[in-house]
Every structure is written in structure tokens, then in C-alpha cells.
A and B are shown apart, each in its own frame.
Chain A
Amino acid sequence: MSLENLRPTPAFADVLPIEYRDLVEHGPYTNRTGDGSKQTVKVTDMGKFKEVIEEHPMCAGCAMTLFIRLVYIGMPNPEHTIVVGTAGCGRLAISQASVPFIYGNYGDTNAVASGLKRGLEVRFPNQKKDVVVKAGDGGLIDIGFQGLMHSWFRKEKFTTIMLDNEVYGNTGGQESGMTNHGKVLKMAPRGKFGDKVDALGLAKVAGVDYIARLAPTNPARVARTVRRAIMVAREVGHSYIQAYTSCNIEYSIPTPDVMKDAFEIEKERYGFEEIISPAAKAYLDEVEKKPKKKKSD
């Protein structure tokens, strides 16, 4: 249905903006397999197809922006996806995408997504609609903590992606629950008290079916992880991705060194980790058509 809506009537085709025509003719929609399981628009093709997000008002060199672009590329079916966000840097870019974006109240993302997903399943019983929460570390682990945890406990069928820049970037650099112990930031003049919240551990305890932690150092891996998370949320249970998306402003990372920082942080402490439940593993093996015993990564 959406792809049909995408195509303009011939009478309007030549008066639509070039950006729209590019989206229709060279967008990521029609290049996918029907069930979205195989991705034919690849990260390595960036620049050769029209992304659903291109222009944005994010800071120069922002790693979060790169990650957000990769998330959209990784979506199995962006034409049937709705993104939910909250206050924070990320929504400045996310709201520019040609994918519907619900910009809710502070910390309400996972509650809104719960109702949205269930409502979409009632209204479209024969069309899978993917719901993806994209919110910052503060929006999820601090003000949105209760909604986050309960959506996990309820095993709501959507994906949560934490844009973890380890700081409240949008409000000017205050420490968050995901800031590392001892880090001096605004509202932590003597250094952050307490450790970085172990969100992955919480997700594991809550029974989230697909959990991943990564940094945007390997674009193809980011897209694949996003695709896996969304496919699991579609059919098995909740999925959670935690991505290191540094704030080069508040952490004073020189713009040319943003990716160098990402590689260093990944190597030092962030790493790449996938925690997959048996049900999700079986499902991914099936859709990715890999032998069940083969390592999923």
C-alpha cells in the first residue's frame, strides 16, 4: 500500500521536487525482497541511492548522525516503519527523514510505541508494521526508564535503539545515567557519581530477545544489526540496540577525530556484542537461511 502511495500520478510527476522524484526512482523502498529479510540496498552503495534522510541540522562531525543514517539503511521495510523519539539531539535528524516520526513527550517513547504497535496490529492484521524507538541515553535510561523496562517485561514487539552519547547533549552537556563513573560534566562538577548503567544486563534480565551493543565503526555491521533487531521484533519479541554515538561537542573530540574516537572506545570498552535468545536465533537462522549451527555473527 505504501509503495503505491509513494508513486505520484503521472500528471504530477514532473512538478514534484527533484528530491521526491529521487526518492521514488532511487529510494531504498523497492529494492528490497518482499519480506524484507534480504537487503539489496547496501551500505557500500551509499551515495548511489536516495536515502530517506540526507539533510539535517546536526553538528559537524556528529557520529550520531552517521549512525542514524545507517539505521534507516538497515530498515527492512522503511515504507512500513514508524519511528518514535523524544527530546534530544537525535530527533533533529530523525524528524527530517521521510519515515513517519512521532516526537512525543519526555521519556514516553516506549509507552507510545507499545500502544502504537498494538494499534497497528489491530488495524493492519495482514501487513506487518515495524515500530522503532530511537532515543538518547537520557531519554531511555533516565526519564524513560520505567517505560523502557516495562516494554521489555511485556515483550512488546518493537525495537528500541539507544543513541548512547553518554551525555545530555541537547540540553548542553549534563551527565546522564549512561555517563561513565568519574566523568566531569555539567551537573557532575566533581565527577559522575555511580557507574554507567548496565542497560544490556537489564535487557538480558528482562528477557529481551535480541540485544546488541556496537559503535558505528563498521557501517555494514550496523545495518545488519538493525535489520536483525527489527526482524526479531516483528516476529519473536523485543529487541534492543545500544550504540555508542559520541558527542564531539561536549566531550571535546576534534571533528576530524570522531571516527578515531569511535574505534578507540570500541576497542577499549564498548566492543560489539550480540545476545540472542534461542527463539530469536532460530528465527534469524531461518530468515537469513544459514545453517542453524553456524555462528550467527
Chain B
Amino acid sequence: MANVKGSSVCRTAVDEGKPADWVPGGEKQTVVDPMKMFHELPREMQFITGSEAARESMRRANIDIAIAYPITPQSESMQQAGYLYDEGYIKEYYRAEEEIGTFSAISGASRAGVRALTATSGPGLMRGMEAVSSWPGARTPIIMLNMCRVINTPLAIQPDNIEMSFLLNTGILLLHAENQQDFYDYPLAAIMASEQVDVTLPAVVSVDGFFCTHARGPVRITPEEYKLPPRDGWRSAVPAMDNENPPARISRDAPIQKSNFISYHMHASWQQEVFAAVERSAKYFDKYLGGLVEVINPDAEDFIIASGCAVSQAREAVRQEGEQGRIVGLVKVKTIRPFPTTSILNAVKNAKRILIPEFNQAGWLHKEVCSVLYGRCNAVIKDGPRVFGGMTMPTEMILEWLEEFRKETK
């Protein structure tokens, strides 16, 4: 960063007020094997918000550059990222002009071969969707934290995860965090999976806004002196745009701009490869997260399949049903993309009734589950209960739906 002294772009740490002997926080950390970080390092319990959990995750993620535009409820996390930049845990950081600019810039950073992080919420995701949908085809490993909120009119800032449905068919890796703990663990796992050579894709970790981002919960975190290995810009399914390769035509457009059969075939095969890479990521998530799903009471006849905050509400419903002597199973879906088809099929093979509670109007998880269980499972699948626009989902609501479901389907 040695630029002309006194010029407007001369911005070393010392220029920005740090003492000459300042050592960035990241340089005091030790790189640790990801599996060791995820499964072996000792953990300390902290009672923190989801945004603070995201900060602690970022602190250990060896992020090179973070770029974001503030939007509620994401803003708390990304201003925390600013503090991490100031402390030297993130090497480069700026507040972008808006989300198209944010998501374009973060794709440029990823093309440079560095680890790049951004975050957004609802309308911000919608605004930058053209850029986001181009990330997978450009084979850009990027980590995006997505704090879900309402996107439709009337405008609201309340939690609602309808925006996740817009990511389902992009070729992006998509995880859904249940709570503050997941919002600490999942980004770290997603980063490592996304940067594998046979994956090389962006990853989004969604969480239900406010319920998780602004509420405190117990989070077991690893010691801050350990961090993930850095991104290796040379290890990738496609070369970085760094001009460190023999001169060749390495732009991703290829001759696709032409209207002929070869161009159609190139685009189709490229897209097929993107979605095949999504499936290949499953083996990494399986070992990083200890499975793509979590199953409770696998022998039950009544099952709840849920993701995100709905899992927590379902857990309590399962517990209360148990107190009444009724065994209800639960499948927590951790990865929405890759969708854990086999794991779900195995989990619900004895089920008679499957309830799918969601925090959105469209019922995208219900549609996903139906699409993979159709013709392969004898259970009746019921879509609901659904709440949206900021509504909470009381446990009693799930219990009532279960009771009604049993009456409907003997």
C-alpha cells in the first residue's frame, strides 16, 4: 500500500492513526486446521447476540476484505466488522454505495483471489440480486451473511425469510442458522467448503433477523488466538483474475455472446457444472457440521421438518409433546443448498405425518421437501403453520397444528 506520501490514497495503518509498532490482531493469531477448530478446540460459553456471534466468527475467519452497505437488521454485524478491521482482524474494509455496488465489488475482490465477506438483509439482497446471481457462474468463493427481513410492501424491517427462496436456484451454497450458535459456526464452515477446489462457489448463511441477530443466546466459541487457514488464491476451479497465468482468453464470457449451438452448449454445460459443484460441497458440510441435518426421535410417526428459527420452536413443541407421552420427530435442515435429500428420506422413512412450520408466506421449505419426497415417502406432508411479516410462532401454534393433523390423518 505504499503510495505517494500526502496523496489522497496513502492510507497505511500509521497514516490512519495507528502507532508505528502496531501489530494487527490477525497477525497475533495462529492458523489451525478447520476440523480442529470445528470439533476439537476448547470452547468458552458467552451470552451474546447473533450479531456479536457473527463478529466472533469473522474474527476467526481470516477475512481479507469485507464490503457492505448498511441495512437493518444486518447493520450491527457489519459495523462490528468495521471494528474488526480497526483491530486488524480484517485487512481491508469499506462501506459501499449500495448493494449492487457492494455485491459487484465483493465479486471483484473474490476474483483477486482473496477471502471476501459481505452481508445484507431483505431489500438489500433484492437490490443486488443481479450481481448475486452471477457469483456462482463466475466461480467466486464469497461468504455472505444474510439477516432475513420482510421484502414486500408494506415496507417493514421485521423478520421473515421469504428472501431465501430467491437464492434457491442460483447455484449458491445456502445454509440456514437456527440460533446464535449456528451463526457463529456456520460461516466458518461455509467459508471452508466454498473454497474447496471442487466447489469454488459463493456461500450464504441466512439467519432470521432480530430473533437471532438482536437477541442474546448462549454461544460456545473457540479461543480467539486461533483462526482459519487463509484463502489460497492458487487453489481454485478457475484461475483468479490476477494476471499470474499464461496469457489466455480467461474471461468467463467465452463465445457465449454468439447465437449458435456451441454457445448454447457452453452455457448449459457451465451451469450443469455449477450445480454439480453445489452437490459436491455436501461432503464438506457433512464433516464440518456433523451432518447436513439433525434428527431427533428418528423412530417417530409424526415429524416436523424445519430450518432456521422454526427449529427452535419445533424443539420446544417436541419436548412438550414428549411430556404428554407423544413422540414427535424433528429434522433440522442445516443446508438448504445442497439440499439434504438422502438424509431427509432416511430420517422420515417411518413417518406418517410431516409438518413443516415456516417463517414466510410462500412456504418454500415445504415445496422443497415435497419435491424430493414425492413418490418416495408414504407420509402426508402438511404445509404450516406459517407466520410472516414479523410475527412470532408460539410453540402452542405448532402443538395445535399437530393435534389437528392427527385428527385429519389417522
Interface residues of A (CB under 8 A from B): 1-2, 5-6, 8, 20, 23, 52, 79-82, 84, 91-92, 95-96, 98-108, 111-125, 129, 146-147, 150, 154-155, 157, 207, 209, 235-237, 279, 282-283
Q: Is the CB of B243 within 8 A of A80?
A: yes
Number of A-B contacts (CB under 8 A): 170
Extra contacts besides A6-B246, A146-B101, A155-B9 (20): CB < 8 Å: A23-B247, A82-B241, A95-B249, A95-B251, A98-B249, A99-B247, A100-B242, A102-B111, A105-B130, A112-B105, A114-B108, A115-B65, A115-B108, A118-B65, A119-B112, A122-B65, A123-B113, A150-B97, A150-B101, A236-B8
8 contacts between A and B (CB under 8 A): A84-B108, A95-B249, A105-B130, A118-B112, A119-B64, A119-B112, A120-B242, A283-B7
Q: Is the CB of B248 within 8 A of A98?
A: yes
Binds A, one of B88-96, B152-160, B166-174, B322-330: B88-96
Which residue among A107, A118, A237 has the maximum number of chain B CB atoms within 10 Å of its CB? A118
B134 within 8 A of A: yes
B29 within 8 A of A: no
User: Across the interface, which residues of B come within 8 angstroms of A154, CB to CB?
Assistant: 94
Q: Is the CB of B9 within 8 A of A108?
A: no
Complex Cα distance, B91 from A123, in Å, reads: 10
User: Across the interface, which residues of B come within 8 angstroms of A2, CB to CB?
Assistant: 243-245
Complex Cα distance, B247 from A134, in Å, reads: 19
Complex Cα distance, B244 from A113, in Å, reads: 17
User: Across the interface, which residues of B come within 8 angstroms of A107, CB to CB?
Assistant: 100
Main secondary structure of the interface of B (DSSP, over half): loop
Q: Is the CB of B257 within 8 A of A6?
A: no
Complex Cα distance, B8 from A207, in Å, reads: 10
User: Separation in Å of the B375 CB from the closest CB of chain A?
Assistant: 39
Q: Is the CB of B244 within 8 A of A279?
A: no
User: Across the interface, which residues of A come within 8 angstroms of B112, CB to CB?
Assistant: 115-120, 122-123
Complex Cα distance, B96 from A112, in Å, reads: 11
Q: Is the CB of A111 within 8 A of B100?
A: yes
Complex Cα distance, B100 from A116, in Å, reads: 15
For B251, give its contact among A103, A118, A122, A283 (CB under 8 Å).
Answer: A103
Q: Is the CB of A112 within 8 A of B108?
A: yes
Complex Cα distance, B246 from A23, in Å, reads: 11
Q: Is the CB of A100 within 8 A of B243?
A: yes
B205 within 8 A of A: no
For A237, give its contact among B8, B109, B233 (CB under 8 Å).
Answer: B8
Q: Is the CB of B64 within 8 A of A123?
A: yes
Chain B 205-246 interface 0/1 with A at a Cβ cutoff of 8 Å (1 = within): 000000000000000000000000000010000000111111
For B104, give its contact among A23, A105, A279 (CB under 8 Å).
Answer: A105
User: Separation in Å of the A128 CB from the closest CB of chain B?
Assistant: 10
B116 within 8 A of A: yes
Closest to A108 in B: B104
For B108, give its contact among A6, A99, A116 (CB under 8 Å).
Answer: A116
User: Across the interface, which residues of B come within 8 angstroms of A236, CB to CB?
Assistant: 3-4, 7-9
User: Across the interface, which residues of B come within 8 angstroms of A99, CB to CB?
Assistant: 243, 247
B100-151 contacts to A (CB < 8 Å): 100-102, 104-114, 116, 130-131, 134
Q: Is the CB of A122 within 8 A of B233?
A: no
Q: Say yes or no: A119-B249 contact (C-beta < 8 A), given A147-B97, A207-B8, A209-B8.
A: no
Complex Cα distance, B134 from A125, in Å, reads: 28
Q: Is the CB of B92 within 8 A of A119?
A: yes
Complex Cα distance, B141 from A59, in Å, reads: 37
Closest to A7 in B: B246
Q: Is the CB of B109 within 8 A of A104?
A: no
Complex Cα distance, B4 from A2, in Å, reads: 25
Q: Is the CB of B109 within 8 A of A105?
A: no
Closest to B250 in A: A100
User: Across the interface, which residues of A come within 8 angstroms of B20, CB to CB?
Assistant: none
Q: Say yes or no: A115-B4 contact (C-beta < 8 A), given A92-B257, A122-B92.
A: no
For A121, give its contact among B1, B233, B253 (CB under 8 Å).
Answer: B1
User: Across the interface, which residues of B come within 8 angstroms of A82, CB to CB?
Assistant: 241-243
For A112, give its contact among B6, B107, B245, B257 (CB under 8 Å).
Answer: B107
Complex Cα distance, B13 from A95, in Å, reads: 37
B273 within 8 A of A: no
Which residue among B7, B91, B250 has the maximum number of chain A CB atoms within 10 Å of its CB? B7
